[in-house]
Chains A and B, each alone.
Chain A
Amino acid sequence: MTKDPAADSTDVYAFVSPDAPDTVTIIANYVPFQAPDGGPNFFEFGAKTVVGTAAPVGDDVLYQIHIDNTGSGIPSITYQFQFTTVITDPTTFLYATGPITYSSSSGYSATWNRRQTYTVTRIDTDPTTGQSTTTPISPPAGSGGAFACPPCNVGIRTTPNYASLSAPAVYRMSDGLIVFAGQRADGFFVDLGSIFDLGDLRPISSHQLVPGTNSPGINSLADANVHCIALQIPISSLTPDGAPLTMGANDPNAVIGVYTTANRQTVRMFDPTTGTYSGTGPYDQVSRLGSPLVNEVVVPMALKDFWNSQAPVNDSQFAAAVEHPELQNLLPVLYPGAFPNLAAYTKARADLVAIFATGIPGSVIGDAFGVGTYQGGKVIAEMLRLNMGIAPTSSDGTQAGTSNLGLLGNDLAGFPNGRRLTDDVVTIELMAVAGATIPLVDKTFTPDADVSVVNQGVTASPRSYQAGFPYLADPHGGFSNPPSTPAYNTNPEL
């Protein structure tokens, strides 16, 4: 899947919207590791391409956001997104032939040569009978009949005043649904260079099997962009009965499971006479994502593509990788002497099964937080689970009593209850695998003291976020990046 970035689900976020707590925001990111200066084509969603007046050519990607609101492991609600790339002037190599502007009367200027539009469809399915209802969603009147992505942030000459270009791409429907799709700053923060170098954590590197010097972590994605599909959905549109929650976190309809997929047609053919690809056959699932890092560090490498093709309802076949995670065995080896209790723990990790595959039953955390009715999913199905009745908090440190460590920081509004943009999911999961969450299900276990110092040492970059929907900030500009460019130092907001 890493060889197919357009279909590569990188991160999924689901949280009760902090500025609209009767809604849930779901963000699905694709096309990772975008260097902002990656011209001349820059970046886009997988799509058929229209050149001039010719028929669309190429193979495309079907992007989907799935919501299970019954605990069955089968999505009851699916939002589908399909994109079309339009090249207005086939005679130029330029992404734009002049500055791109936007006007409310005529939309984006004709100077923009390579642009994308998309369709949105909601499918409601009865998980018991399989019967479904398909509802195309139209953009608001006056939007030109199609949803439009904003341009990539090329630079100050091509995309001046970028905020004026991205704001019109936020579509607010009359039923409360808000939609955005396009390039944004990548809000995920992780020290890839350290973690995937045999599990090193820079803050405690001196204790590693191959010791280094302790230092803060490095955010590998601090200057990267990503392609984002974001929805803000009224909670009443997510419950099985179409009604708002009346019992808060204890409402029987409060918990949803969220995951995303990307699908490609079974057959991809290349026509050497025209230099074009075409797709034929059903849209098969080639990528999926729910909880962060499950695919990366729980699923064995040889099974990743297979795991990507499977529906969550079939995840019992992967249960062993969660119950006895490889990383649990590696930590005591990589940090000699630090995790003796973990090394001696041989039981199946029911805590990790709950976090990743069923949701944490209310009875487990209810004593401390008063959240007691959710019994967990009915089947093993890896998704990102969110109790929509838990009031939102900010994990950016500006609100007392909140924590970017979510549940491990006594902040139930954060991961693994959904995932906020600034939740430090890497540290949370490292601490969980190291044993921090075992006592939730096994009171006989005492976590090793060093669990408290497990930390990737990376902080979220404020540049990557904004206060309102879609919460991920405008993308980093091409002219001002990478950081070695002089403009980066004088104009870091770009």
Chain B
Amino acid sequence: MPNISRRHFLRNASIGAAATGVAAAGGLSLLTGVSGADAATPPKTTSPEGPVLDGSGVVAHVVDAKSGKISLFVGTKHIDYTNQALAQELLKATK
């Protein structure tokens, strides 16, 4: 699995909305793309296993850019994820 950096994710992502909107990254595994250094807080996941690459892409919903709360959707999974830096980066990309 390639180690995709936050910058790499943003470069490949299709930003769908503003800070409280939706960003989609086709075919990318977002969780494996965020290193420990990138994450402001450890990822909190509702699923013990990682997301599945099933060709349907990843949808990232920045619920609250200030706190870094992001909802990730992949396949039939929903992962709650917190990363202030990534959320701010996404917000910046919508400007």
Contact = CB atoms under 8 A, between A and B. Distances in A.
Interface of A: 265-267, 269, 278, 280-283
A265 B78 CA distance: 10
B73 interface: yes
Number of chain B interface residues as a range: 10 to 19
B22 interface: yes
Contacts of B59: 267, 269, 280-281
Contacts of B58: 280
B56 A266 contact: no
B66 interface: no
B7 to A, nearest CB: 24
Given A269-B16, A280-B74, A281-B73, 9 more contacts: A267-B61, A269-B22, A269-B59, A280-B56, A280-B73, A280-B75, A281-B74, A282-B76, A282-B78
A202 to B, nearest CB: 48
A221 B38 CA distance: 59
B76 A283 contact: yes
Contacts of A281: 59, 73-78
B24 interface: yes
B57 interface: yes
Given A280-B56, A281-B59, A267 B76 contact: no
Interface string B44-88: 000000000000111101000000000001111110000000000
Contacts of A283: 76
9 contacts: A265-B76, A266-B73, A266-B78, A267-B22, A278-B57, A280-B58, A280-B59, A282-B76, A282-B78
A309 to B, nearest CB: 14
A281 B77 CA distance: 5
Contact of B77 (A269, A278, A282): A282
A278 B56 contact: yes
Nearest to A268: B59
A266 B74 CA distance: 10
A336 B22 CA distance: 54
A328 to B, nearest CB: 40
A244 B73 CA distance: 43
Count chain B CB atoms within 10 A of each CB in A266, A269, A280 and give the residue with the most. A280
5 shortest interchain CB distances as A-B pairs: A281-B73, A280-B73, A267-B59, A280-B59, A267-B73
A263 to B, nearest CB: 10
Contacts of B74: 280-281
Contacts of B73: 265-267, 280-282
Nearest to B16: A269
A378 to B, nearest CB: 28
Contacts of A269: 16, 22, 24, 59
